[in-house]
């Protein structure tokens, strides 16, 4: 059975790195015999938009972005997040991590998973990052954090 991955690449300016990351992922996938579809979010907007059928058929998802990408449509899919730079430098490694996450998913019981990967990339199930209402204070500690001028502690 051919392995399938979908990916989204995006960077703040969307001029070069978005497309370089997409090309690197496509080349590495071809070399590994992996079927891949890559949605790019560049200066001209979304190109090669992933369909719901593409997402459903995928074994895993890669988000290679230095800009915000809504991951809600990938809910339930193994998801690897990385920078566009990491995708350009080592796309094969990202593909390996995505497929390893897919293999781990089939071996585990249902439930959300989060694992921090090398270089700040994250592997998790698709969905929204963080918890509902979660706030970060100074130093990244969970909690209400410093008050804004318009707020008071209760």
Q: What is the set of active-site residues?
A: 11
Beta bridge partners of 45: 42
CA–CA separation, 97 and 3 (whole Å): 13
Residue with tokens 């996450």: 101
Sign of CA dihedral 111, 116, 117, 120: positive
**SS3 assignment for 86-138:** HHHHHHHHHHHHHHHHHHHHHHCCCCCCEEECHHHCEEEEECCCCCCCCCECH
Pairing of strands 35-42, 60-65: unpaired
69, burial (CB in 10 Å: exposed 0-12, middle 13-18, buried 19+): middle
Bridge partners, 47 (sequence order): 40
């Amino acid at each position: 059975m051919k392995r399938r991955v979908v990916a989204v690449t995006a960077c703040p300016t969307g001029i070069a790195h978005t497309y370089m990351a997409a090309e690197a992922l496509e080349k590495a996938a071809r070399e590994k015999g992996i079927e891949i579809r890559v949605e790019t979010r560049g200066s001209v907007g979304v190109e090669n938009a992933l369909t719901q059928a593409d997402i459903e058929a995928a074994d895993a998802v890669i988000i290679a972005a230095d800009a915000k990408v809504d991951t809600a449509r990938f809910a339930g899919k193994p998801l690897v997040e990385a920078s566009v730079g990491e995708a350009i430098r080592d796309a094969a490694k990202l593909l390996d991590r995505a497929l390893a996450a897919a293999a781990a998913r089939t071996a585990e019981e249902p439930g959300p998973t989060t694992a921090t990967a090398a270089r700040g990339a994250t592997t998790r199930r698709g969905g929204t990052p963080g918890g509902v209402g979660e706030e970060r204070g100074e130093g990244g500690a969970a909690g209400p954090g410093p008050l804004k001028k318009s707020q008071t502690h209760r």
